[in-house]
Structure 1
Amino acid sequence: MGRKRTTNKDLPRGLHLKGGRFYHVTSTTPRKWTPLGSDRLQALVGWARIEGAEPDPSARTFEVIAARYLREIIPGKAQRTQRDNLIELDRLNAVFGKVLIESIKPFHVRQYLDVRGQTAKARANREKALLSHLFNKAREWGYTDAPNPCQGVKGFTESGRDRYVTDAEFKAVWAKAHDTVRDAMDIALLTGQRPADVLKIKREDIREGALWITQNKTGVKRAIEITGELHQVIERISERKRERYSAFLIQDDNGRPLSPLALRSRFDKARKAAGVSFQFRDIRAKTASDTGDLGHSQRLLGHKNRDMTEHYVRDRIGQRVKPLR
């Protein structure tokens, strides 16, 4: 039996922190140390994939079920959702970790929401949703037959964004932006895709006269015809000289793919210089609003139904109505 931890007691068995980096360490000798990087959340994913052991069914604490959820469920989700879930799971573990799963009652969920909601109502709702899904999985896996404590517990009302970006605002930020941010802004505007989907576009995605995109969030596939301004923008990007070749369409001065953090930093700098306050993600809504054709907007953005697109557009530019006379 191994020695008890004296530090980092919150880490699962076999995951160790040494010199600022995480390692999976085997329990048998000679011990094998597998590096998992310095990011705690990614290290937990790596640990889960290596460990893969089924927890003792008699151990019905939240943290045991959360560990199984981490191994079996989270890896099957989209990358962005994975990262969000890992952060959410961390917060839930800090509160419910040692608690028996069936001991979590609706009033506990209400208390969690009330406390968490004091600083982050939207995040509290997401964490409640994850708790609910995890509890349902615990029921499926046989850890409990207790009813889901999240049922009937109302989350916080969220108001969607209603920011419409005018042409003048877009041009003002574009004029102050770095070339690579201009590239991303133009591609986002002309295709209506989310920031993450814009940044992941590779040159190999340009084929057969179209830009082929699989959306991270929904898995929806789109082949956007490369014509008009989109053709001009892609040509402009392709002709720009770089220090080295990159497989990615949106890249920095050194030819490396532009990271979400770098895009945000450069975009924030440009909008501050322009004196404009919209967010990069608002460009997608501008695209939907500016087509003048809800059917076109729906197909371009990849919405499942027209009502979603109509709501998306109406909240930003208002519903067009006729006067009394």
Structure 2
Amino acid sequence: MSGVIGRYLKEVVPEKAKTTQASNKLEPSTLTKVFGSMKPADITAADVWDFVQARAKTSKVRANRERSLLQDVMRHAIMWGHCKDNPVREQDSTHTAGPDLHCLAPFPIKALTEIKRPISSTQLVTSRDGSPMTLEGRKTAWGRTMDKAIAENAISERFHFHDNRAKTVTDLKAAGRDAKSLSGHASESIVEKVYDRRSMKKANPLE
């Protein structure tokens, strides 16, 4: 598997967006440590499940990202003739650990649009003066927001900025409204598996 991951890094990652490349160069180290000595054909859905659950104990966001990367690596392993099935696809993505959406307060769109800024902007999230923020700037600002919210007991656990989309989709689905168009995905199955957190499943403990 280490050879497949190495080939993926050399041939596939360079074709991705620069921001994705940076992330993909960090995530394979964990995948190599866990699956590197295994043959692609020997990896099972149970192996993936155990990895995701163990990884989520230290970082739920990383668990989700590394699972997604592993799925794409296995997809290429199939094309390169190393295996026939993708064990990550067999594991329903709703199993992937995610934050409790009850801890996400309704996103204060109205409050954000009413903030007075020296520079007018069409972007919702900006710096204090209204100028666009860099990707790293947004990550830093979000991290500080999470730290403050945890310290003030406003939320019980950290969550990713993109989890706001999952909450919105979940709320819309619960209300019987169309959520597919808002998510930007053409496939209803992707919306249900990735964003609709009402269908998240929990494993029963083994006796």
Q: What TM-score, normalized to structure 1?
A: 0.39
Task: Report what 1:262 is aligned to.
Answer: 141
Q: Quick one: which of 152, 159, 183 aligns to 1:301?
A: 183
Residue pair 2:185, 2:191 contacting (<8 A) in 1 also: yes
Q: Quick one: which of 178, 186, 199 aligns to 2:108?
A: 186
Task: Report what 1:14 is aligned to.
Answer: none
Q: Any gaps of 5 or more consecutive residues in structure 1?
A: 1-60, 140-146, 172-184, 188-228, 317-325
Q: Any gaps of 5 or more consecutive residues in structure 2?
A: 57-62, 200-207
The answer on 1:277 being equivalent to 2:156 is yes
The answer on 1:148 being equivalent to 2:83 is yes
Change beyond 3 A, Cα 1:306–1:275: same
Q: Deviation digits for residues 58-84 of structure 1, max 9, x if unmatched?
A: xxx954x65553343223335564344
Output the amino acid matched with 2:126: Q
Task: Report what 1:106 is aligned to.
Answer: 41
Residue pair 1:294, 1:310 contacting (<8 A) in 2 also: no
Which has the larger helix fraction?
2
Change beyond 3 A, Cα 1:294–1:156: closer
Output the amino acid matched with 2:25: L
Change beyond 3 A, Cα 1:149–1:305: closer
Q: Quick one: which of 109, 117, 138 aligns to 1:240?
A: 117
**Matched position secondary structure for 1:260:** helix
Task: Report what 1:135 is aligned to.
Answer: 77
Shift of 1:106: 3.4
The answer on 1:119 being equivalent to 2:54 is yes
Identity within the alignment, %:
22
Output the amino acid matched with 2:140: L
Output the amino acid matched with 2:21: Q
The answer on 1:75 being equivalent to 2:30 is no
Change beyond 3 A, Cα 1:313–1:262: same
| Partner Cα distance (2:180, 2:117) in 1 | 32
Q: What TM-score, normalized to structure 2?
A: 0.55
Output the amino acid matched with 2:182: L
Residue pair 1:66, 1:134 contacting (<8 A) in 2 also: no
**Matched position secondary structure for 1:259:** helix
Q: How many corresponding residue pairs?
A: 180
Residue pair 1:165, 1:282 contacting (<8 A) in 2 also: no
Change beyond 3 A, Cα 1:155–1:87: farther
Shift of 1:260: 1.4
Shift of 1:281: 3.8
Output the amino acid matched with 2:74: S
| Partner Cα distance (1:105, 1:308) in 2 | 25
**Matched position secondary structure for 2:128:** coil
Q: Deviation digits for residues 158-205 of structure 1, max 9, x if unmatched?
A: 256484448xx727xxxxxxxxxxxxx435xxxxxxxxxxxxxxxxxx
**Matched position secondary structure for 2:118:** coil
Residue pair 2:150, 2:156 contacting (<8 A) in 1 also: yes
Change beyond 3 A, Cα 1:77–1:273: same
RMSD between aligned alpha carbons?
4.7
Change beyond 3 A, Cα 1:310–1:73: closer
Output the amino acid matched with 1:298: K
| Partner Cα distance (1:112, 1:293) in 2 | 36
Residue pair 1:135, 1:148 contacting (<8 A) in 2 also: yes
Q: Report which structure shows greater RCO (CA 8 Å, sep ≥6).
A: 2
